[in-house]
Structure 1
Amino acid sequence: MQRNVRKTLNFLIFLCFLLLGCSSERNTFTNRLYHNVTARFNAYFLAKEKIQEAEKSFREAYQEDYTQVLPVYFPIDSASVDANEEKLNEARELAGKAIDWHRISQWVDDSYFLLGLIDYYEANTDDAINTYKYLNVNSEDDEVRHQALIQLLRIFVEQRKFDDASYVIDFLSKESEISKENKQKLYKTLAYYYEARHEKDGVIAALEKCIEVTTDNHEKSRLNFILAQLYQRAGFDARAYDYYKNASEGNPPYELAFFSQLYAQQVAELEKSKDLKKVRDYYDNLYQDRKNTDLRDVVLYEKALFELKQKETDEAIKLLHQAAQEPGKLEKQKGYIYQKLAEIFFDEKEDYRASKYYLDSALQHFKPTDTNYQTLSSKQDILDRYTVNYELLTKNDSLLQLSQMRPEEQEKIAENYIQAEEERLLAEAEAKTTKKNAGIFDNLLAFGGNASASTFYFDNPTAMQKGEIEFFRNWGNRALEDNWRRKSSSFGNAVSSLPTSRDTTAARQVSQEDSIRGILPDKATLLANIPKDPEQISQLNDQMEEARLQLGKVLYFDLKRPDLAREYLTDLLQFHPDSEKKAEAYYTLFLIEKETGGSTTYYVSRLNKEFPDSPFTKSVNNPIGETSSTAANKTAESNYQKAYSAFQSGDYSIAKTLTQSTLNKYPLTEVTDKLLLLDIMLSGKLESKGRYQERLENYIENTDSPGLVKMARNMLVALTGETEVEQVASVDSTNVSDSLRINTPDKRIASDSVAAEKQIYKLNKEQTHIFILVIDPDAIPQTKNLSAELENFHDKNFQDSRLRTGNLSFTRNQSILLVSPFSNAAKAMDYRKKFLTEFKYQGLPEELKKRSFVISIQNFQQLNKRKDITEYEAFFKSSY
């Protein structure tokens, strides 16, 4: 009994000590021991586990692009962060408990570091920076301080704040006893710093140091691979080979091991081998290896590059087409395959139309954030303009030739076309038919007459295609419907409509898993497309006239092919002698002859005789030094921005002088149409209404830019008070017959000089907004520290708003500075008002400040697609 009492007493004493140890305030040995153990192995441990799970998810969501130099730190997609929101929220709650419940433990600073890391991943960058600065100043744990400084360095590098980053590097260089784990992170972040500054020597030096202290084998393989890529591109093949071999060790992911071995062979043997058969056999063996089934497109792509070096262009094209058909595992690889095809057809074949379609396919496999996306997108815009006009010219030329033939000749051509389509469809079906080996029992089967293909009808694409064609011959393109469905249908809906060109295109693009059923054109439909009356023929000729001019311009100014441009422009003058485009054609031919060393006298003479008052004539009579298209575009763009700023400020005379002088000196630039519209807007301020209306009507009739024509129409509506019905043809050449009728019932919108297009920008003042400041190229050097000054401005005036600033390269000629987020338009406009009146910065002129505007998130997506600041500024002025 006494023994039991003693046990109970001991238990009560232990329980008392335990309860006393739970206090987060009493700084005793027992308390510290309890809170250190509980914080480390409970809240902090679980928070760290949740973050590591999220980081693993980030890594799995990112697909490495081994054909390019791997980034030191792979980018983290915001979608991946959103997908792990629950984990990060749990980690934040647990880290908060480790701080609040265990204040006297040794793991408080570590928990603060985790909170900063969560803020970093969730893009609360300012909060993360403040947390890491706090730890650097207040933490007594050097390990945590070093972690915080390294993470702070990474953030500064991401923000391209290299001065701040250099300060952190200098500070860390003076720190002693940095742990091995932190040294690994520091060297890796230093490599990231040099990578951002495009200093390859610095990246190599930092990564070599990093590998020395890296213990994780997968991470070491990846770093070795990056070093190998850098050395290979620098021409040090021997060093590259060593690092590729190191990268393949340590049981790395299979893709990394595959590319390491592939590139190691290239730098060590393939590139130097004169035995071409040996090299080709190497690629063939890689292709046959079953382990590489998911990477066969890569093998074929690399072999195609090898064939290109041997000048075997046709073989390379064949291999690239084959690579495009392989399933593949790496999404971007398909993009590189199509990009290479586009380059071959552009540079070597000079088939710009084919290059355009390959480029379209390439861009489907890249993201807008990829480094090569903007370059490819800009090239796509040029090729789009070429292809639209080339196809229009070719189609109309064929139709006009057919219109001049006798009816029986037209019918014969239609029949031959349909027969050729039948043969094409059968050939495609035959190619997809699965061949089988003849077996001993095949002759015993009821349908064993053809041992080369499937004997069951629905397993035999060739038989199915023949059946489809036979059905079409007898019944036409009739919809395939069940009997009960036909009975319930009205007679008017029983016959399906004939396919449009878009339907046919879609039918040709069906996957192999889908039906191969082809849609044949109907002879009557083909004949109906041939123009017969003079009005149709005149319309086709007008389209060809415009297409020839546009082809001449795009070939000369964008594709740098003056020889081809000359052909289209001389055709315009020959086939359209009364064209209104002659002045522009003469001027472009004048530039072509001047650039190629030909005679310009003829075109100068024709301009002076036929168009004495044209801006083109003034330009050839008063030549200046900057006649090259690049210099002219740059100067005209700059003058346009200055004129528009003067217009916004009410300095109409200054703006008028600028537009007139620019149009006279540079009559043929990328901003000519914008300058002309601005000049007309100034007429509305300085001249009579009659003159203003006359110029608007002429502009609408003669301008090709749909967006600018819409603006001019809205100006005309606002001037006359009439409500016009605007018919906008679809841009898609496969659906030119479709149109949208757009009414302007809102008088407030119609009354503005440049009304907002309802389908483009939508007014939603309750949506989150962004403040935007447009910065022109010549102002970039003066606005170098603008972001830092804005941060100070925010700290002083908007301390509780948690505003963030960022820079974005918007177009080749403009960048924009963004401030966000504002929960609605009112708050964004209040910010803009304060910005205009109170923000002072020597490098930011007042006219540039006035160009600032606010925009909703939804409208910003449209603006980012259209890249037309002026268009949105008109909407902003009328709506806010």
Structure 2
Amino acid sequence: MLIFTCLCRKNIIFSQVLSYVIDKKIALLKIALKPILSAVIVTLILVGCSRKKDRFINRNFHAITAEYNTLFNGFSALEQGRNSLNASYRDNYWAILPIERMQIEEEVLLPGQSKNAEFTKAEEKAVKAIQKHSMNVEGKEKNPQMDEAYLLLGKSRYFDQRFIPALEAFNYILYKYPASDKINQAKVWSEKTNMRLDNNTLAITNLKLLLEQEELEGQDLADATSILAQAYINTKHLDSALIPMAVAAKSTKKDHEKGRYFFIKGQLYDALNKPDSANRAFDKVIDLNRKIPRKYLINAHLEKAKNFNYQSGDKLVFTEHLKALEEDRENRPFLDHIYHQKAQYYLTSGNDSLAQVYYNKSLRENSTDKILVATNYETLGDISFDTNLYKEAGAYYDSTMTNMVENSKPFRIIKRKRENLETVIYYEDIAVVNDSILNLVLLSKAERLQYFEDYTTTLKLQAEAEIEKQAIIDQKKGLAVNNAGNTNASSFAKSAKSSGKSSNFYFYNDQTVAYGKNEFLRIWGDRELAENWRWSSKSASSNVVALENGSGIDAAESELFDPEYYIAQIPSEPEVIATLQKDRNYAYYQLGLIYKEKFKEYNLSKNKFLALLKSNPEERLILPSKYNLYKIYELQGRSDAVSIAKNDIVTNYPDSRYAQILNNPNLAALRDENSPESVYEKVYALFQNQEFERVILESDSHISTFEGDAIVPKFELLKAFAIGRLNGFEAYENAINAVAVTYANTSEGLQAQDIINSSLETLRASAFVENDSFKHFKVIYEFENTPENGLEDFVKTIDESVKKVKYFKLSTSVDVYNKDTTFVVVHGLKSIEGSQGFMQLLNKEDRKKIKRPFFSISSKNYRTLQIHKNVDAYKAIQ
């Protein structure tokens, strides 16, 4: 037993020793193998990094590295860029929505610049993947991730709005990787890019071919059909866009895309005037409910509301539906559109007052949708216009234009409306103000006193109400200040209460302290803390006077409550009163014409003419007013009134052109040659014939003849042009300024003002420039305006001579310089040397006939010479 025990112990010791030795050898072996293993791994990596050898390890190394490192980061950057692009894009629901939410910028960027840093990063990652991991072996790409890299490259360029480089990337996939599983995506993106480059027809052809040849499914089908629909929309083939739009909405798995596609489908049906089909599409948007952004849901409700049938629809259900949308708290961001739709409903139903309420409520929501704001203002302007509130309408149209794209077609339409109202507003203001003053002039002294006593009493009541309102505001402010400033007193009061010592001390109650302070301020004002503080001189508001009830009003305004102050303002001078009457009467006449001719408001026009005739107008306004009344009665079908008006004119004004027209209606049909329009055309013909002196004389004569007629500003403007052509820049400036001031609210006055603003300064420069810098020159012959100047014979000779000149297209003209001088001008010379040697271009016989002196001048300097009439200054520098 003892021997056995010893043997066991020896075996145990031996096994432990053996185990130790083995562990030691293994450790030594690991130490020895570590550099070997490292070398092997490094060797494998180096072998795998090679892009020139088509081996399993090489292919997989570069594929995995590209996919899970470079391309992963690139697609992440691309997605972030798309999210920011979508977040910054604002949909315009007034037009058919685009398939893709991307705002195309017109800004041209320099090379290396980008609209979005994320897209730049994505492009850099794509380029890095291609440069570092492409395996082009024997002309074939061995890395299966390279098609993804080029797809990323194309998408990043596309969203950065560099469409031609993007198209190159997509086309490279089509050319180099025809067997790629991304080939259909590349085709769709290629056609999407073609569409952005306005190659819509090409995109339609290629997409239809793709859909015929390939069995696309899921998102690929949705992308292809949605882009096809967009191309049809771009080419105005809306009916062709319906089927692909429906397929896209059905195929996509993304709810937000599904909602957008159904919404666009509804808009397409609306554009095709199929409201029932449109409503079914909008119902599908509504059915998605919270799966889609709420803006699609609300706008689907609003689009359905626009399609409401006012003849057969249930108006009670409809109004309840709109009310439910309005009261839903989640719809608060969309109240501007909801209120607008309610206003549209009431306007269509004929309830203009409620419509105005809701248009104004929509405006008070401070909407960021400028089209909505402009539409609200324009509709309010139209309502005011229809109710003859032209001044209000003008203000609404002004606000409309501030929310529109300047110089767009809708902007120009509103601008024309506003300009038409300008004259009405101007003359209405004159009529109202002058009527008010003249009515006061007609009152007796006692009546004036009573009128202004009533007026000042109203003013006092308003002032007292305003003071009381301000006192309440000040009291509230004082309460807030005292609540903040009396924390120590409050703490003291609370500590007293907590100690069981209750107290009614005045200053422990914040409300009584605030009330006492405000009462002191109300009674005594803001007084400095000093002796004799009750004295009025100590008041910080020493300019306050007491009214009957003790309220305070600023002494500077006290005269506003004195009736005598207003009575003293009433004019008493006969000249002033006569001017007021004259201006008022002319305003009536102009308003009568405008309401009749521009706005077809015959009752308004009639009232103005009748009011004018009752106001003892100037003689020049009586007959035109009566004739206009005759025409109004005729338009209104009032035969009795027509007969009376006609007899009045024919009997009392038998020699007038109006009587001639009434006695012989055929003259009116053939157009009376003595009408203002005919006379103006004759004078204008004189202007075109450069008979500027006659234009000025004739214009003066006809301005007197047609005084009060709408044609007068036309004669004045034509006269200003003639003065400028005859007498030069300074005379023209004075004449055009006179037209702009005198006829400020007519189209001619506005034209004159536009000339002053945009053209006059460019004409002011009178200095000549070097002739050598130009390419168009003239030869000038001077003639004095005398009967025997030989001008006609010379013109005939020069015309025949220049026709014989070869290689130059020469022509001549006769230009008036001023009342004493006329120029014969030869046009078509190309250099100063050629114009100076003009005579050498003519043959010998013609040179003998033309012996008059001439001078050469560039077209630019000739224009300056004619504008400023400074021919002597030009000759002096030659």
Q: Deviations over 1:687-741 (max 9, x none)?
A: 44422444677899988999997897576356324465547669999xxxxx999
**2:33 maps to amino acid:** R
| Alpha-carbon shift at residue 212 of structure 1 (Å) | 1.2
SS of the aligned residue for 1:719 comes to helix
| Alpha-carbon shift at residue 180 of structure 1 (Å) | 4.6
**2:261 maps to amino acid:** L
**2:693 maps to amino acid:** G
| Alpha-carbon shift at residue 217 of structure 1 (Å) | 1.2
| Alpha-carbon shift at residue 148 of structure 1 (Å) | 2.0
| Alpha-carbon shift at residue 364 of structure 1 (Å) | 4.4
Question: Is 1:143 paired with 2:185?
Answer: yes
> Of the candidates 641, 645, 656, which is equivalent to residue 610 of structure 1?
656
Question: Is 1:446 paired with 2:512?
Answer: yes
Distance 1:391 1:6 in 2: 103
Distance 1:614 1:698 in 2: 22
Question: Is 1:211 paired with 2:249?
Answer: yes
Aligned to 1:76: 103
Q: Deviations over 1:801-834 (max 9, x none)?
A: xxxxxxxxxxxxxxxxxxxxxxxxxxxxxxxxxx
> Of the candidates 87, 109, 112, which is equivalent to residue 60 of structure 1?
87
Q: Does the 8 Å CA contact 1:352/1:386 hold for their aligned counterparts?
A: yes
Alignment of 1:151-170 (within 5 A): 151-156=193-198, 165-170=200-205
**2:123 maps to amino acid:** A
Alignment of 1:710-859 (within 5 A): 713=720, 716-717=723-724, 719-721=726-728, 722=730, 726=737, 749-750=763-764
Q: Deviations over 1:764-808 (max 9, x none)?
A: xxxxxxxxxxxxxxxxxxxxxxxxxxxxxxxxxxxxxxxxxxxxx
Question: Is 1:686 paired with 2:689?
Answer: yes
SS of the aligned residue for 1:560 comes to coil
Structure 1 residues 430 and 181, CA gap change in structure 2 (3 angstroms): farther
**2:289 maps to amino acid:** E
Q: Does the 8 Å CA contact 2:359/2:376 hold for their aligned counterparts?
A: yes
| Alpha-carbon shift at residue 398 of structure 1 (Å) | 1.7
Aligned to 2:119: 91
Aligned to 2:667: 621
Question: Is 1:559 paired with 2:599?
Answer: yes
Aligned to 2:297: 257
Aligned to 1:117: 158
Structure 2: gaps (5+ residues): 1-30, 137-145, 477-503, 523-540, 746-752, 767-866, 868-878
Structure 1 residues 387 and 749, CA gap change in structure 2 (3 angstroms): same
> Of the candidates 38, 43, 60, which is equivalent to residue 13 of structure 1?
43
> Of the candidates 472, 475, 481, which is equivalent to residue 555 of structure 2?
475
Q: Does the 8 Å CA contact 1:218/1:250 hold for their aligned counterparts?
A: no
Distance 1:523 1:79 in 2: 64
Q: Does the 8 Å CA contact 1:136/1:148 hold for their aligned counterparts?
A: no
Distance 2:244 2:627 in 1: 56
Aligned to 2:285: 246
**2:694 maps to amino acid:** R
SS of the aligned residue for 1:152 comes to helix
Q: Does the 8 Å CA contact 1:551/1:565 hold for their aligned counterparts?
A: yes
The TM-score normalised by the length of structure 1 is 0.55
Q: Does the 8 Å CA contact 1:229/1:240 hold for their aligned counterparts?
A: no
Structure 1 residues 446 and 73, CA gap change in structure 2 (3 angstroms): same
Aligned to 2:428: 390
Larger Cα-atom Rg: 2
**1:563 maps to amino acid:** N
Quick check: 38-47 or 538-547, which moved more?
38-47
Alignment of 1:621-660 (within 5 A): 621=667, 623=669
Q: Does the 8 Å CA contact 1:129/1:152 hold for their aligned counterparts?
A: no
**1:95 maps to amino acid:** E
Q: Does the 8 Å CA contact 2:222/2:251 hold for their aligned counterparts?
A: yes
Distance 1:455 1:219 in 2: 68
Distance 2:89 2:676 in 1: 48
Alignment of 1:448-527 (within 5 A): 473-476=553-556
Question: Is 1:404 paired with 2:442?
Answer: yes
Q: Does the 8 Å CA contact 2:154/2:170 hold for their aligned counterparts?
A: no
| Alpha-carbon shift at residue 413 of structure 1 (Å) | 3.9
| Alpha-carbon shift at residue 547 of structure 1 (Å) | 3.5
Identity rate, percent: 17
Structure 1 residues 685 and 343, CA gap change in structure 2 (3 angstroms): closer
Alignment of 1:279-678 (within 5 A): 284=323, 286-308=325-347, 311-326=350-365, 332-347=371-386, 349-368=387-406, 375-406=413-444, 409-410=447-448, 412-414=450-452, 416-420=454-458, 445-446=511-512, 473-476=553-556, 530-569=570-609, 571-572=611-612, 575=615, 578=618, 592=632, 595-596=635-636, 609-611=655-657, 621=667, 623=669
**1:172 maps to amino acid:** L
Q: Does the 8 Å CA contact 2:424/2:594 hold for their aligned counterparts?
A: yes
Structure 1 residues 584 and 577, CA gap change in structure 2 (3 angstroms): same
| Alpha-carbon shift at residue 211 of structure 1 (Å) | 0.5
Aligned to 2:845: none
Q: Does the 8 Å CA contact 1:188/1:206 hold for their aligned counterparts?
A: yes
SS of the aligned residue for 2:256 comes to helix
SS of the aligned residue for 2:669 comes to coil
Distance 1:468 1:59 in 2: 64
Question: Is 1:106 paired with 2:136?
Answer: no
**1:88 maps to amino acid:** N
Q: Deviations over 1:247-303 (max 9, x none)?
A: 342532334334445666898999977684x76666555544433444445444444
Aligned to 1:866: none
Q: Does the 8 Å CA contact 2:431/2:587 hold for their aligned counterparts?
A: yes
Distance 1:243 1:414 in 2: 63
**2:591 maps to amino acid:** L
The TM-score normalised by the length of structure 2 is 0.55
Distance 1:428 1:413 in 2: 23
Structure 1 residues 561 and 46, CA gap change in structure 2 (3 angstroms): farther
Structure 1 residues 29 and 330, CA gap change in structure 2 (3 angstroms): same
Structure 1 residues 64 and 172, CA gap change in structure 2 (3 angstroms): closer
| Alpha-carbon shift at residue 323 of structure 1 (Å) | 4.7
